[in-house]
Chains A and B, each alone.
Chain A
Amino acid sequence: MDRTGLSLVRFVASRYRQLQGLGRVVDAVSLLLLWSLLTTEPANGGPLWFAGAMVVWASLTLWGLARVGRYYRERFGRTASTADSTAGSGSAGEVMLFVWMSMVFGGFFIPLLATYAAHVTWRDWPYRAHWMLLALHGTVFTIAYPGLHSPALFALWNSRFVLTAAPVIALVGLLDHRLLVRAMHRAAEPTPDTEHADTI
């Protein structure tokens, strides 16, 4: 195993949970689901409808995340990492928090999303350069922010933000997943010096 291979091993071991990108796909679907539930609420829906919708949304999201977690545990194993627990379990928490907050509080959190994505890009360069997409997306929507004085414009901007954020989050997640699979796959290719244990 060469130096590049060793640095990849180190990187994957330290960021294992964050690289479990299928969780981001679940987040993206969950975001779209929540947005659809909120925008298609019937006029006479009332609090009961809203509560029911929230329960369905939360159950589906938690079920999806649990399935993804189980897949990674059974396919690639488990680690306990201080980097993972202190830097946030998978950036997912932070990303989705910023997106939810942006939806609820009118876009003020989008600059934070862009900054966070830029931070991940810089911290994990060059492996997770694809996080630049999320940083770029956040920056574009920050610049295009129409303000709260025009509700119609804001609603249009908000729906565009959600409809484009979900695919970008899913894509970033898939690229994280691909990075993890390739790192493992690459490592799993037997090389002459790893085929037989030596006698030391």
Chain B
Amino acid sequence: MPTPFEYLQSLNRLVHEPARLAILVALSACEKADFLFLLNITGLTKGNLSSHLSKLEQAGLVVIEKKFEGKTPVTYIRLTLEGKDALKEYWQSLEKVRTGIRHLKPLRTP
């Protein structure tokens, strides 16, 4: 049986990064969100958010759609099925780490 630390090592690093995790959590709670909303909810700068979204898009976890609403350009970001699965697996791995750590016995020092 793998140890909690092995589970910890197997965590998806792409999801584990705090800013990307916040983006994925926000997107998992709604159908889609625009760039401005993610900017506000995550507190990232435009450049950082853009950079994180590019990485998530390259990994196939999100889809970025650019469209016009009236005369206003709006960039919508949507979580893909892979993104939903990756987030689910991430929470499951964290849960395994948590459960594993609970069963650890403290080392006895002589």
> Which residues on A sit within 8 Å (CB–CB) of B43?
186-191, 194
- A-B contacts at CB below 8 angstroms, number: 106
Q: Is B62 an interface residue (CB 8 A)?
A: no
Q: Contact string, B42-60, partner A, CB cutoff 8 A, digits 1/0?
A: 1111011001100100000
Whether a CB of chain B sits under 8 angstroms from the CB of A115 is: no
Pair A79/B25 contact, Cβ less than 8 Å: no
Note all chain B residues with C-beta closer than 8 A to A89.
none
In the complex the two chains form, is B41's CB within 8 Å of A187's CB? yes
Which of B1-9, B10-18, B102-110 lies at the interface with chain A? Answer: B10-18
Central interface residue in B36, B37, B43, by most chain A CB within 10 Å: B43
- 22 contacts across the A-B interface (CB closer than 8 A): A1-B21, A1-B22, A9-B22, A9-B25, A9-B29, A10-B25, A10-B29, A13-B30, A13-B37, A16-B30, A16-B37, A78-B34, A83-B29, A186-B43, A187-B40, A187-B41, A190-B43, A193-B19, A194-B18, A194-B22, A195-B48, A197-B51
Which residues of B are at the interface with A, using a C-beta cutoff of 8 A? 13-14, 17-19, 21-22, 25-45, 47-48, 51-52, 55, 74, 76
